[in-house]
Amino acid sequence: MLLMIRVVLLGVLLSASLPAQTIIRLGTLVPKGSRWHEILLNMGEEWKKASGGKIELKIYPGGEQGDEPEMVQKLRIKKLQAVALSGAGLSGIDPDVAALQVPMMLSSYEELDYVRDRISERLEKGLAQRGFIVLNWGDAGWVHFFTKQPASRPAEIRRMKLCVLQGDNSTFELYKINGFLPVSLASTDILTGLQTGLIEAFQAPPLVALSNQWFGGAKNMLDVQFAQLVGATIITKEVWDTIPAPVQKEMMQSARTAGIALRDEIRKSEAGSIPLMQQFGLNVVHADAQAVAEWRQLAEGIWPKLRGPVVPADLFDQVKRLRDDYRKTHHGAAVAAVQ
């Protein structure tokens, strides 16, 4: 009985220290009604309970608030208070996040988890300095090339108009100086761009290509995992700082649990997305050993242009060192990485 009274009193005290009602508007590209959307909704319910009903999480799924650059802009002008972004959007806030997305640096989720767990504190500090609190980290999947015509080598894709997400200027310039034909386009315009011929190729994780139906306009997917696309859910520090510390703790715990669930769901769904697209005409283009070697040479040729100008040199070196440490202690990963 005494314990129950203490719990009730704590709830009353926390509720009293919160504003009358706090609405946190969260934008995301995850499809409405999807399992990912459900996980975020459940997180919102837990936030409401933790705050005694005074915090309401209002979610805008499916790009209702625009593409990622638009949502980041809405964070800055306070039309949104939180977003679930891919690494492309996060890099627009803090370029250091690109350290987890260096082309062909990491070759497995195990490597990604090992590296991210050891640099996440630094990345979170960098985002906090820019006014954002990381609620959780997630994944969007392994980035592949999707093309209108079958292509397995860099030279073949260099002849195609390749979509680069609007606002990702560093990637645009990197492709341009490496002989590609980049076309800047909002993610919401990719399908139309493929239909009109404005673009002939794009890069995306299979799950993203499926959920947005982009693969219908470019039905050839190269089986080279070119890079990992990470993600995170962030909230503005301005709003976060208005929430009492005990409620923050409960909310953060719910957010981290949701992040693990989102990550697991995406990894599980990613495995089934390619066979599902194949049922609707997707052609998986196999890259032989020579083609893979050409992609690796291209990727590693890009590294010096990323190290320093995009990703701080010490952070780039730390990621590579952590990757190598993981491979030394996990022989199977090292073998797979060179195949």
231: three-class secondary structure by DSSP:
strand
How much is the pTM? 0.87
Q: What is the pLDDT of residues 236-266, one digit of tens each?
A: 999 999 999 999 999 999 999 999 998 998 8
What percent of the chain has pLDDT above 70?
Answer: 91
Confidence band of 336 (pLDDT split at 50, 70, 90): low
Output the pLDDT for position 35.
84
Q: Is it the case that residue 338 has pLDDT exceeding 60? A: no
- Tokens in use for 103? 């082309």
Output the pLDDT for position 14.
47
Q: Which CATH superfamily is domain 20-337 in?
A: Bacterial extracellular solute-binding protein, family 7 (3.40.190.170)
Residue with tokens 């030279």: 155
Output the pLDDT for position 146.
98
Q: What is the pLDDT of residues 260-312, one digit of tens each?
A: 998 998 898 888 999 999 999 999 999 999 999 999 999 999 999 999 999 99
Name the pairing type of β-strands 22-28 and 132-147. unpaired
Confidence band of 4 (pLDDT split at 50, 70, 90): very low
Output the pLDDT for position 18.
56
Output the pLDDT for position 140.
86
Contacts 24+ apart (CB under 8 A), 12-19: 12/52, 14/51, 14/52, 14/244, 14/246, 14/247, 15/51, 15/52, 15/53, 15/54, 17/244, 18/51, 18/52, 18/54, 18/55, 18/242, 18/243, 18/244, 18/247, 19/54, 19/242
Output the pLDDT for position 3.
39
Question: Concatenated DSSP letters for 196-211?
Answer: HTS-SEEEE-HHHHHH
Average of per-residue pLDDT values in the chain: 90
Confidence band of 337 (pLDDT split at 50, 70, 90): low
Output the pLDDT for position 194.
97
Confidence band of 10 (pLDDT split at 50, 70, 90): very low
The residue type found at 105 is M
**195 vs 18, higher pLDDT:** 195
DSSP 93: H
Confidence band of 9 (pLDDT split at 50, 70, 90): very low
Alpha helix stretches (DSSP H) within 130-189: 154-157, 169-177
Q: Where are the beta strands (DSSP E) in 224-323?
A: 227-236, 283-285
Output the pLDDT for position 88.
83
Output the pLDDT for position 168.
82
Q: What is the pLDDT of residues 157-196, one digit of tens each?
A: 999 999 998 878 888 998 999 999 999 998 889 999 999 9
Q: Is it the case that residue 57 has pLDDT exceeding 60? A: yes
Q: Is it the case that residue 1 has pLDDT exceeding 60? A: no
Question: CA–CA separation, 336 vs 339, rounded Å?
Answer: 5
Q: Which of 6-10, 45-49, 287-291 has the lowest mean pLDDT?
A: 6-10
Consecutive H or E run containing 254: helix 245-279
Q: How far is CA 294 from CA 104, 154, 289, in A?
A: 12, 7, 9
Output the pLDDT for position 167.
78
| Contact criterion met (CB below 8 Å) for 188 and 66 | yes
Q: What is the pLDDT of residues 309-335, one digit of tens each?
A: 999 999 999 999 999 999 999 865 554
